[in-house]
Chain A
Amino acid sequence: MTPGGFFARLVTALGGVSGLRRRRRGRQAELHQLFHPVDRKVDAVRESEEASRGYGATRREEPVPPPEIDETSDPHAELVVALLLIAAAIAFAGFVVFYVVSEDTQLLGLCLGLGLVLAGVASALAGKRVVIQEKTTDEYKDYGDREERREVENHLVEGKVGVTRRKLLFSSLAAVGAALGAAAVMPIASLGPRVGEKVYETPWSAGKKVVDETGEAITLDTLSPGEFITAFPAGASKEDIGSALVLVRLEAGELELPADRAGSAPGGYVAYSKICTHAGCAVSLFRYPTFDETQPGPALVCPCHYSTFNPADGGKVLFGPAGRPLPQLPLRAGADGGLEAAGGFYEPIGPSYGGIREAPGEQPL
């Protein structure tokens, strides 16, 4: 009896419950093929090879030798992998630190990206250099052969045994996991109603002068009706989300402002926050018809998603995904003819997420 034949019997005996037994007869020929390698050409060659190596005949009795540990596993590589993992952990920790101390999202992205790249390189290197790799071509082997199975088991054991700095590698991996987890969890701090008063705190207040991009004061005759310009508060940062205005001059007769905003447009000048209430892009498009009977009416348009606002009636949404009007800033003419703010914005500035359509509660302006 060949080992194959024995194993076939073992299998049929062990699994000899209903299913296997029923198909037993049908499988008989198949099993014979599978477990009698001598009958097959490929295995016949292998058999002869094994025989020439001198243990073919006696292998059934001999205990399988212990696996030889492959010395090609590179302790140097292990160190490199560990260092890479530690560097990745530091980068992820950097994300957490910058999240707290800095507002620069570029730094956050850099940390996260660097950490992921380092961790990726580390795992690629570990896969190639640290864990034992062996390429075998698996011909139709004699699966019943105990020795073959032991060989496979040995490969598995080798894979573990070859790594010498297991503790170091695993602890740096754990550090990476912890730091990445912390970096991923950190932005939760930005969720929720923490924005608070920020949307009402803009550089604009009563008496703040309106200037153009170069800092020159805008007066009542800077624009003709039908023109527009980007404006800023005098002496304040242009970077502030509440700073930039889109200033439009319309014919006084075109204005349809709500009654409570009647005095907010001296000389037909109306000012709106340049930040779209949909996704926070700069409202940089203005259309003003030459002939309003056949052409679309005046509108401020955001180039990102084409939210379209009506400058004549307090920035109401004419079209597009914006959920609420463009916040208007009341204006007045100063003593020297220069335009200045008559107060803060009527509505909170900035984009509204989550379907928010209006300001929460009363305006504290």
Chain B
Amino acid sequence: MRRLRVLIPVALLAASISLLALEARGADTGGAPGRSPESAGRRLFVQGCSSCHGFEGEGVKGSGPSLIGVGEQAADFYLRTGRMPLDRPGEEPIRTPSPYKPAQIRALVSYVGSFGGPPIPEVHPEDGDLAEGQKLFTEHCAGCHQIVGRGGILPGAVVPDLGGANALDVAEAVRVGPYVMPSFDQLDQSEVDDLARYVEYTHDPEDRGGWGIGHIGPIPEGMVAWLLAGVALLFTIRLIGERTPR
């Protein structure tokens, strides 16, 4: 019993210390009261982004574009998919795990949003029409991303695989036109919903026609065709080459 009496205050003390520590961590990421996300975002921006985008988001010649007017839409896309920060200016931004925590990303996004520009777009893939989405994807996206969204190459750029893209990524990318992708502002909200629905479908498409073979198009398909045709030909040759036994 005496032992317990000593343990309780010790436990209480330990709990309060760890709570304090959590509080301090929260303050670091901009979650503490008394600091606006903008100011936390400002600090992160100065640390991580200003060398290429300038201290006020005005851009740095030869390193990075101005962020004035790009809005939360672009910031959210680039940061959430880990495309920013880049190791070196001029590199192609590709999808990587972000070095920032979600709260830090939120702070940065709202800070960049304070320079002005479009907000994070709405997207409702559940309202989208799959067939319409495929049609739109074929017309506008498949040229580079391939019909099942597996990506490809373009002179000067790698076209990303859309396997990791969620509906919001699609809606943002269509509006922003990241890196050398053109933007598709001509598409309206319902068309973006259709596209997002289709892209989500391509993550695990129904292969009604048979094998998907990686969904990367004619090269593996051709190889399979040749292998099958080759075996069939061998059997045919065997059949007609063998003399009829008497």
Binding site for B on A (CB under 8 A): 72, 124, 127-129, 133-135, 213, 222-224, 226-230, 284-291, 293-296, 299, 301, 303, 306, 308, 318-320
Partner of A127 from the list B143, B180, B183, B240 (CB cut-off 8 Å) is B240
Complex CA–CA separation, A124 to B58 (angstroms)? 78
With A293-B62, A308-B155 as contacts: A224 and B185 at CB distance below 8 Å: yes
Inter-subunit contact B182/A287 (CB<8 Å): yes
Contact digits for B225-246, partner A, Cβ 8 Å, 1 yes 0 no: 0000000000000011001111
Contact mask for chain B residues 180-202; partner A; CB cutoff 8 A; 1 contact, 0 none: 11111110000000000000000
How long is the Cα–Cα vector from A226 to B180 in the complex, in angstroms? 10
> Closest B-chain residue to A291, C-beta based?
B65
A286 to B62 alpha-carbon distance, docked (Å): 23
List the A residue with the shortest CB-CB distance to B185: A224
B178 at interface, CB cutoff 8 A: yes
- Produce 1/0 per residue, B155-194, CB < 8 A to A: 1110000000000000000001111111111100000000
B223 within 8 Å of A (CB atoms)? no
Give the total of B residues in contact with A, Cβ under 8 Å.
Answer: 33
- Give the distance in Å from the alpha carbon of A114 to the alpha carbon of B244 in the complex: 25
In the complex with contacts A128-B240, A129-B244, A291-B65, A226-B177 CB distance below 8 A? yes
Given contacts A133-B243, A289-B179, A294-B90, contact A227 B184 (CB under 8 A): yes
Bound together, the chains give a CA A306 to CA B159 distance in angstroms of 13
Q: List residues of B (111-134) whose CB comes within 8 Å of A's CBs.
A: none
Chain A residue nearest in CB terms to B179? A290
Q: List 20 A-B contacts (CB under 8 A).
A: A124-B240, A128-B240, A129-B244, A134-B246, A135-B246, A223-B186, A224-B186, A226-B183, A227-B186, A229-B186, A286-B143, A287-B156, A287-B180, A288-B181, A288-B183, A290-B65, A290-B176, A293-B61, A295-B179, A306-B155
Which residues of B lie under 8 Å from residue A226 when comparing CB positions? 177, 182-183
> What does the 1/0 interface line of B60-72 toward A look like (CB < 8 Å)?
0111110000000
Closest to A318 in B: B155
8 A Cβ contacts from B137-161 to A = 139, 142-144, 152, 154-157
B interface vs A, CB < 8 Å?
61-65, 89-90, 139, 142-144, 152, 154-157, 176-186, 239-240, 243-246
Contact B156 A222 (CB under 8 A): no
Whether the Cβ atoms of B182 and A286 lie closer than 8 Å is yes
Tell me how far the C-beta of A295 lies from the nearest C-beta in chain B, rounded to whole angstroms: 6
- How many cross-chain pairs have Cβ atoms below 8 Å apart between A and B? 94
Q: Which residues of chain A have C-beta atoms less than 8 A from B155's C-beta?
A: 287, 296, 299, 301, 306, 308, 318-320
Of all chain B residues, which has the CB nearest A292? Answer: B65
**Which residue on B lies nearest to A121, using beta carbons?**
B240
- A72 and B177 contact, Cβ closer than 8 Å, known pairs A227-B182, A227-B184, A293-B61: no
For B142, the chain A residues whose CB sits under 8 A away are 284
A288 to B180: give the CA distance in the assembly, Å.
5
In the bound assembly, the distance between CA atoms of A318 and B155 in angstroms comes to 10
Pair B180/A290 contact, Cβ less than 8 Å: yes
Known: A288-B177, A303-B143. A224 touches B183 (CB 8 A): yes
**Chain B residues, CB < 8 A from A135:** 243, 245-246
Q: Which residue of B lies closest to A319 (CB)?
A: B155
Q: How far is the CB of A246 from chain B (nearest CB, A)?
A: 10
A-B CB proximity, top 7 nearest: A284-B143, A296-B156, A294-B90, A287-B180, A291-B65, A124-B240, A288-B182
B residues less than 8 Å from A284 (CB atoms): 142-144
CB-defined contacts of A296 to chain B, threshold 8 Å: 155-157, 180
The answer on a CB contact under 8 Å between B244 and A230 is: no
Closest to A132 in B: B246
Asked whether, in the complex, the Cβ of A294 is within 8 Å of the Cβ of B62, the reply is: yes
**Contact in complex: A222, B186 (CB < 8 Å):** yes
Of the candidates B89, B154, B177, B184, the one whose C-beta lies within 8 Å of that of A285 is: B154
Asked if A285 and B144 sit within 8 Å, CB to CB, the answer is yes
